[in-house]
Chain A
Amino acid sequence: MIAKSLKRTSLNDTLYIMPFIILLLIFSYYPLFGWVYAFFDYRPPKPLTLDAWVGFKWFKSMADTAVKRRQLMQVMANTFGISGLNLLFSWFPMIFAVFFNEMRSPRYRKFIQTITTLPNFVSWVLVYSIAYALLNSNGAVNAVLLKIGLIDMPITFLQSSKHIWLSMFFWMTWKNAGWSAVMYLAAISGIDEQMIEAARVDGASKLQIIMRITIPSLLPTYFVLVMLSLANFLSNGMEQFFVFQNAFNKDSIQVLDLYVYNIAMGSGGYSLSTAVSVLKSVVSVGLLALVNTASKKVRGEGFI
């Protein structure tokens, strides 16, 4: 009797999560089949069945000479550098949301929220057009600098690799900060008003309320988001770097995703680029495990 009802319960439970499992299988596991391309000499338009099986050749060729190892290391350094910067300043949207929340005039609030969220909907291609219009040698920025006599030759902002990680980070922040703050604004509106009123009655200043109530209440959200971004540490997307890349900054801007794209689409090396992205997944899982262990040690609980 008991065993039977248990069975039924677990069947019911399975049915509840079935849609999600199916979705997961379709969108997350089925694409893994594409990994087989890393083990063939695939060259379109010949189908896989006509291509030679080459085992780990492409994995080996990724790093079989000093130059290739150096390139790969540089790509990893860029990926870690840019992701690291993002991680380092991941508190920025939270602080922005906290201060934003203190603004009183509703009209002004709406205005600020609109202009900070807007860039999120602008595609990177357009962002680059804006950057080009502003920063080329005849662009607005150079024109102003030349007019007021700060420089006598136009600065080639886009052609330089100086501070490129920082400028990439700024473009990213300009585009994303307002949008990321939305999550924190939602969390702030969930904070119990009574707590804040009680603090006010007790004579807490605005800053004290922020420091003692708002931020501590936001921290759990913050940590979840940090964890999520850690899992994506190696994937900083390629669109931004793709549009900004040129011969001069490519060394410092080519992140892993862009590297994979450039190999596959630039030189038709599908197999090699698949091999690189397989490795990327493997390293990502490794990173996640590492963070999880660290979290267990520090907080006493992991997140998987």
Chain B
Amino acid sequence: MKAKRMLALLLVLVLTVSAMAACGSSGANDSGSAEASAPASETTTASAEASASTDAGERETLVINVLSEGANYQGLQGGWYGKILKDKFNIELNITALSLSGESAYQTRLSTGDLGDIVQLGKDKMTYVVNNGLVRDIRSGFAQTSFLKEFLDPVQTVNNSMFPDKGEGIYVIPCNMTGTSPTEFTDTDLLISTKLRWDLYKELGEPDIADLNGLLDVLEQMQKNHPVNEVGDSAYALSLWKDWDGFGMANVTEPMRWYDQLMRGSLIFDSKTQELLPVTEKNTAYYKVLKFLNDAYLRGLVDPDSGTQDWSTVSTKIGNGQVYLLWYIFTKYAWNTEERKADGSHFLYIPVQDQKLYMEADIYYGAESYMGIGANVEGEKYERIMEFLDWYDGPENWRYSFGGIEGFNYEKNADGKNMIINPNAQADNLAVPEEYGGGGYADGMNQINFYFGHQNYIIDPDTKEQYNYQFWSSVLGEPSEMDREWQVRFGADNLVDYLKKNDMLDIGPNVVFALEPDTNDISVLRGQCQESFRDYSWKMVFAEDQAGFDALWEEMAETLNGLGYEQLAAFDAANYASFVEATKEALR
């Protein structure tokens, strides 16, 4: 009897607890803290595919699966932007983000032969999937678009060069095409630079910074003066994140542009000498920046959570004022709000004088990230996706994606120019009125994070200004006190002007070139080398002294060579020779 009662009790317990556990897991997905949350709603696609009615009535809901290397969000697009898509096209976007789900989502989809409906990948992966027939030719649909076809010239050139065996087909569309020229640089800000808080910099007496050591001195002072933010959370000069890592830590490979170098596959491209260098070489920007991070750590300037946090956490920390050095252009938007412009506390470029910054010219042929449509997409679904993509490149979506909602984020002033209202909508995640879909503004923003045109170049025909609100005359307005101070201090109009005057800018031409996809051996080798290289890099950042750093570097070089890095480097050297050639050609 006792045993029976016990069993009954246990059963009840199991049921209750499993029910509770189920609730718990959905809660975690919402907070986005867990890494391995798989997309939950793939099953709904099947029903959507069955939609065949082209009656005048309501179209059936279409769930579009997006596999994205660039998105920082995973799950269904919701909020106010989701509502627009739903109302306009009756579509839902189900986004799978490789940065959150890891390589596994890509590998699994690859082995099933179905990548999804909209695929957004980097150059090497995209080349591989197109060559293996997993992405369809969209030439027919492309010609019928009204907005997208304006990019026909760069798109056709890119496709011809990437897939020489595929004839005149159009398989991929690059992102961020500027529509200007492939050798000029016309922007006023750089992708990678060194940005410090202007108020804190002024507080230190606006010192000159000669090199990275000088930069650390300044940062150390800042952190000493302000060890916590306004609400008392500890602040650090640097906060790193791990989810963008590729071949090497993203927090090193991107700032390598400070010293005129950048990653090309498993090699380092030195723009000055036009050479490809192995990563095991010490005389590179990778070593230099890595050492810089380690020095920063030794001085106590690196956020101790760096190795375990992801980009969205860091972005929040920047918005909270817990970080003092920014190197990446888009990080500034988390902090640089209108109110802080008046405070004079924006992150502004502060020159480090021994640097020579590398920047690609206007990316006429787009950045090396591409969008395509999965090979399994056919018929009406294909048409609807093309219709959506064309709209996506049209003025309406540009306004939504970069200006926000008219009436909530901006309105037209007397001159017919856009004027911002609610300037803190994104930073403070303001509640969106119910008529636009409700929810937080930042939560409901376009999560695809991929645009065919470049936000800083494409012009709104109505206002004759860029879509990006940072360029609106109403926003630029009169230069603020802070901007004037900066201009006086550095004797230039803006950072590009300063860099050009001081010969600190190296503009690399925007070129198109083909990549040979990895063989099976190379693919495994690349994976293993990449993992080791990345893990050792992280350990080196947190090395306890110079000797420890050196020992880890030696160990890293030895491990990479033991895994067969030389073979990989040789493969990549041959592969990127076309890039080096094209660059030399364009510079001639």
Contact B28 A265 (CB under 8 A): no
Chain A nearest CB from B39 CB (Å) reads 15
Chain A residues with CB below 8 A from B102, complex form:
265-266
Report the stretch among A84-92, A242-250, A287-295 that lies at the interface: A242-250
Report the stretch among B81-89, B157-165, B407-415, B524-532 that lies at the interface: B524-532
Contact A182/B10 with A159-B307, A248-B538 known, Cβ cut-off 8 Å? yes
Chain A nearest CB from B125 CB (Å) reads 10
**9 A–B contacts from the bound complex (CB under 8 Å):** A44-B107, A121-B18, A153-B300, A154-B234, A159-B304, A159-B305, A247-B538, A264-B107, A267-B527
A241 adjacent to chain B (CB < 8 Å):
no
Chain A residues with CB below 8 A from B31, complex form:
129
Chain A facing B: main interface SS: helix
Contact B527 A266 (CB under 8 A): yes
Contact A132 B33 (CB under 8 A): yes
Contact B25 A126 (CB under 8 A): yes
A279 adjacent to chain B (CB < 8 Å):
no
B9 adjacent to chain A (CB < 8 Å):
yes
- B107 CB contact (under 8 Å) in A129, A247, A268: A268
Interface residues on chain B, number (Cβ under 8 Å)? 64
**CB interface residues, B 512-571, toward A, < 8 Å:** 520-521, 523-524, 526-528, 530-531, 534-539, 542, 558-559, 561-564
Report the stretch among A23-31, A60-68, A165-173, A212-220 that lies at the interface: A60-68
Contact A267/B531 with A44-B110, A45-B111, A159-B304 known, Cβ cut-off 8 Å? yes
Using CB atoms, name the residue of chain B closest to A136.
Answer: B305
> How many Å lie between the Cα of A214 and that of B113 in the bound state?
58
Report the stretch among A6-14, A109-117, A199-207 that lies at the interface: A109-117
Contact A126 B305 (CB under 8 A): no
Chain A residues with CB below 8 A from B21, complex form:
121-123, 126
Chain A residues with CB below 8 A from B527, complex form:
263, 266-269
Interface residues on chain A, number (Cβ under 8 Å)? 57
Contact B564 A65 (CB under 8 A): yes
> How many Å lie between the Cα of A186 and that of B4 in the bound state?
11
New A-B pairs, 10, CB < 8 Å, besides A42-B520, A113-B13, A182-B10: A118-B17, A137-B304, A138-B305, A189-B3, A190-B3, A247-B537, A263-B524, A264-B107, A268-B523, A268-B524
Contact A121 B559 (CB under 8 A): no
A272 adjacent to chain B (CB < 8 Å):
yes
Chain B residues with CB below 8 A from A162, complex form:
none
Interface string of B110-136 (1 = CB under 8 A from A): 111100000000000000000011100
A174 adjacent to chain B (CB < 8 Å):
no
Contact B113 A137 (CB under 8 A): no
Contact A65 B24 (CB under 8 A): no
Shortest 5 CB-CB distances between A and B: which pairs?
A: A267-B527, A67-B562, A247-B538, A44-B111, A269-B524
B211 adjacent to chain A (CB < 8 Å):
no
A271 adjacent to chain B (CB < 8 Å):
yes
Chain B nearest CB from A174 CB (Å) reads 15
Contact B563 A122 (CB under 8 A): no
Contact A137/B303 with A121-B21, A186-B3 known, Cβ cut-off 8 Å? yes
Chain B residues with CB below 8 A from A66, complex form:
562
Chain B residues with CB below 8 A from A126, complex form:
21, 24-25, 28, 34
Contact A189 B542 (CB under 8 A): no
Contact A247 B535 (CB under 8 A): yes
Interface string of A268-285 (1 = CB under 8 A from B): 111110000000000000
Q: Between A and B, how many residue pairs show CB distances below 8 Å?
A: 157
Chain A nearest CB from B233 CB (Å) reads 7
Chain A nearest CB from B566 CB (Å) reads 11
Chain B residues with CB below 8 A from A129, complex form:
28, 31, 33-34
Chain A residues with CB below 8 A from B18, complex form:
121
B108 adjacent to chain A (CB < 8 Å):
yes
> How many Å lie between the Cα of A110 and that of B133 in the bound state?
59
> How many Å lie between the Cα of A113 and that of B12 in the bound state?
13
- B563 CB contact (under 8 Å) in A45, A46, A65, A251: A65
B104 adjacent to chain A (CB < 8 Å):
yes
> How many Å lie between the Cα of A120 and that of B20 in the bound state?
12
A43 adjacent to chain B (CB < 8 Å):
yes
A125 adjacent to chain B (CB < 8 Å):
yes
A221 adjacent to chain B (CB < 8 Å):
no
A41 adjacent to chain B (CB < 8 Å):
yes
Using CB atoms, name the residue of chain A closest to B526.
Answer: A267
Contact A45/B304 with A68-B563, A264-B107 known, Cβ cut-off 8 Å? no
Contact A250 B535 (CB under 8 A): yes
- B542 CB contact (under 8 Å) in A44, A128, A159: A159
- B562 CB contact (under 8 Å) in A46, A65, A125, A266: A65
A236 adjacent to chain B (CB < 8 Å):
no
Contact B308 A158 (CB under 8 A): yes
Contact A265 B103 (CB under 8 A): yes
**CB interface residues, B 128-151, toward A, < 8 Å:** 132-134
> How many Å lie between the Cα of A217 and that of B564 in the bound state?
57
Contact A272/B34 with A137-B304, A159-B308, A182-B10 known, Cβ cut-off 8 Å? no
Contact A43/B17 with A125-B35, A265-B104, A265-B108 known, Cβ cut-off 8 Å? no
Contact A267 B528 (CB under 8 A): yes
